[in-house]
Structure 1
């Protein structure tokens, strides 16, 4: 029984550690945090057991003697270190990492990575409720981030493959005993429609203002939806509620990604995929996987990104609309570009364009994919060739291929940005993308001009992703063309208008 607690009681594993080595020393770091927490050993043990059950780690059964052994220097195995990190972080309202507790970070197997969760409706609701509650509590204390760690490689991909397994039964609310079973449903049809409309409204706010402005509102709404899912509903209402939960969790993940909270974003994406599966909504699941793929590209893991995209394509091949399929091809091209595979990148770009050409208003696309417009298609293809240029050693050939796509995206997003509900963040990101293409083509004045247009947008929206990309682009321009007047002026404008010491984004 690999990576489980290895102390046994009557054949049943209980909370434990790595055994009693002769040279154990008291864990002063854990002891210090424990003393300041005000908890007793019994209270800490109860909290660990409760959190373990919420995570589905039912093999964990900790008691006061086990806590004493941890304080005496015994090293517990996962998921105990992660649970202790979360509990102390919540207690003190700041990041208390595993290392801060004097615990060694262990190699995580897929089952201990924090993403291999039980694929069942009641557990999905419970985990969504607990994670959103913790997020809201820590955000109120000014805590930007979590003690989670990112999963990657097999620890991420293998659990996600299980989203394709057929659900054992239609989505139903969790039943936790006779008291809960008798709870009456209090959701009317108009209220359900309003919840669905709220998810649409939050997506519009995100596109206009960035992820930093309304993230807490989305998380709060998600927490309310999980409360509703604990009531009795018919199968159709339950599926619609799970769909709303999946959309809100995906958006909470996307907003977290936008403000740089990468582990939090991944956890929300995983939970969103679970909710989409409970809703029986494979196209939505494929969209969630595409955002997980985008995050992996951002984190320099294109191999993982490609695996996730192929899972998305396979899972929705018979149910996704042409628009969704085109988006998945475009993301496939991004993964191949970052892997340095030009022929496969070209093929995926071509498939994205051809499939997008099959889109029509009659497709009745859901709101979550309507963002994928001609502008988005050109933007993705442009970034694929731009990324390919970097992988190929700043190739001017691929930079030239990226140019018309990027210019078309800038023109279309620029026209959209003039509208009240325009996608201002996308416009800013593609202006910055255009600047990077100009730098690849050794055109510093043009790069400075385009990046300068992105600066006022970056100041107005709440997106750490935009801010970081703009700073990185200007830094590259200064490094390569620091004697060019336009670049010097841009660098000075950036330093004055967006100093590094600016206040952190609200989340």
Structure 2
């Protein structure tokens, strides 16, 4: 993107202003656009043109009638208004790092910089960052790989607790860093380790897009993860990625694709040396999801049975990959309930999901919200309106704690189920709690 005229760049005093920093941190673009207008003289029509938005859309954002959530739009705003990527939770933008380092003579008659610019001048510039990166130590050892694996485990924990939307820029930045390391000649063990780490980071990025229902971006990163794993013939991880793509296909209502992808995943796992029973159990349950989406009762029951048989073979000495550790007994039980629920077998599904929910870890906000809304919808289908509303109310706290469009989708589906019963006391209580805990889901609209 060409450099905008200096008169149209945001002044440093605005970029270092507390109100602007706070608005960027929470991505309050209505407030950002107002500040840009009043402090930089860039009016809504100019904002629209520079950020590739329609003027009406910018007006709606400023009026508070619309939110901007998609990453491609946020990136266009960062680039169009020259807001540094880190302020919006993005990786550093290409225009922040000069292509060439140039030295210009300083004007001796230059006036003192404003206070805001003096504060900014006290921080290292992007050119210094580039020099330091070139001088950094690039001799990697086992401790480096261990540190990278530890950061991935932390990313997954934070994703469960808070969602991946704000996490994604850091993950993508680390992915690109590791891919860059792979461009250099390294011993085979180190190179294989870096390929595995890059594959895990690409899968995690794809997962955050999938959870945000941005399916095209998710598929692109899943495909990248697949290629990175294939480069080192890690068939178990390839099976893992294919199973993620199968799950996404079930959400996109493409059951044929879901079955084909999970079948390919199982083929990869069975062809790999040392595939553990836990991995096979997870894949069998993903197959059950795909078959249930097709409505194939007998095949779904067969896949559920296979998942439980494999799980029963798990030993404490199994060399399970770290990425499958999440598939424990409560996860097996709740997924079994969801598979029955997808088939419409609600009497079988309800006790299973309820039991797993009681045993689920409190810090897994997304999982608890997701499974509680599943349980509420099943209870509603069984005619248990009061229980369903009570269960759904319990899900609102975890839903508010995590940013997940998949969870929001389940909330919307349950809310819409209540439409004929809106005046019932249990439904009234649920909506009142919803308005208190998640006001944005219902404000200005009869539906969240």
Place the TM-score, normalised by the shorter chain, in its bin: 0.5 to 0.7
Q: Alpha-carbon deviation of 1:358?
A: 0.9
Matches within 5 A, 1:379-398: 379-389=334-344, 398=345
Asked if structure 2 preserves the Cα contact closer than 8 Å seen for 1:435 and 1:447, the reply is yes
Counterpart-to-counterpart distance in 1, 2:310 and 2:394:
32
Q: Alpha-carbon deviation of 1:215?
A: 1.5
Q: Which residue of 2 aligns with 1:344?
A: 299
Instruction: Assess, with a 3 A threshold, how the Cα gap between structure 1 residues 240 and 278 changes in structure 2: closer, same or farther.
Output: same
Counterpart-to-counterpart distance in 1, 2:384 and 2:259:
32
The answer on 1:434 being equivalent to 2:434 is no
Q: Alpha-carbon deviation of 1:206?
A: 1.1
Matches within 5 A, 1:427-506: 427-476=368-417, 478-500=418-440
C-alpha deviations, 1:117-153, integer Å up to 9, x for none?
Answer: xxxxxxxxxxxxxx9xx89977769699xxxxxxxxx
Q: Which has the higher contact order (CA 8 A, sep 6+)?
A: 1
Counterpart-to-counterpart distance in 1, 2:294 and 2:283:
17
Asked if structure 1 preserves the Cα contact closer than 8 Å seen for 2:141 and 2:190, the reply is no
Matches within 5 A, 1:301-320: 301-319=254-272, 320=275
**Structure 2 unaligned residues grouped into runs of 5+:** 5-48, 55-71, 80-84, 91-136, 444-448
Counterpart-to-counterpart distance in 1, 2:53 and 2:307:
42
Q: Which residue of 1 aligns with 2:346?
A: 399
C-alpha deviations, 1:248-283, integer Å up to 9, x for none?
Answer: 000011111112222111111110111111122111
Counterpart-to-counterpart distance in 1, 2:166 and 2:442:
15
The answer on 1:374 being equivalent to 2:324 is no
Matches within 5 A, 1:14-33: none
Q: Alpha-carbon deviation of 1:225?
A: 0.7
Of residues 308, 314, 326, the one that matches 2:281 is 326
What SS does the aligned partner of 2:287 have? helix
More helix by share: 2
Q: Which residue of 2 aligns with 1:26?
A: none
Instruction: Assess, with a 3 A threshold, how the Cα gap between structure 1 residues 274 and 411 changes in structure 2: closer, same or farther.
Output: same
What SS does the aligned partner of 2:263 have? helix
Matches within 5 A, 1:39-58: none
Q: Alpha-carbon deviation of 1:95?
A: 7.5
Q: Alpha-carbon deviation of 1:370?
A: 0.3
Asked if structure 2 preserves the Cα contact closer than 8 Å seen for 1:445 and 1:484, the reply is no
Counterpart-to-counterpart distance in 1, 2:76 and 2:248:
20
Q: Alpha-carbon deviation of 1:209?
A: 1.8
Q: Which residue of 1 aligns with 2:359?
A: 412
TM norm structure 2: 0.68
Q: Alpha-carbon deviation of 1:212?
A: 2.2
Q: Alpha-carbon deviation of 1:496?
A: 3.6
Q: Which residue of 2 aligns with 1:23?
A: none
Structure 1 segments of 4+ aligned residues over 6 angstroms from their partners: 134-144
C-alpha deviations, 1:30-75, integer Å up to 9, x for none?
Answer: xxxx9x999xxxxxxxxxxxxxxxxxxxxxxxxxxxxxxxxxxxxx
The answer on 1:204 being equivalent to 2:144 is no
Q: Which residue of 2 aligns with 1:189?
A: 142
Note the aligned Cα RMSD (angstroms). Answer: 2.9
Counterpart-to-counterpart distance in 2, 1:143 and 1:502:
27
Counterpart-to-counterpart distance in 2, 1:463 and 1:94:
26
Q: Which residue of 2 aligns with 1:87?
A: none
Asked if structure 2 preserves the Cα contact closer than 8 Å seen for 1:292 and 1:308, the reply is yes
The answer on 1:358 being equivalent to 2:299 is no
Instruction: Assess, with a 3 A threshold, how the Cα gap between structure 1 residues 307 and 314 changes in structure 2: closer, same or farther.
Output: same
Counterpart-to-counterpart distance in 1, 2:374 and 2:173:
33
Counterpart-to-counterpart distance in 2, 1:285 and 1:135:
33
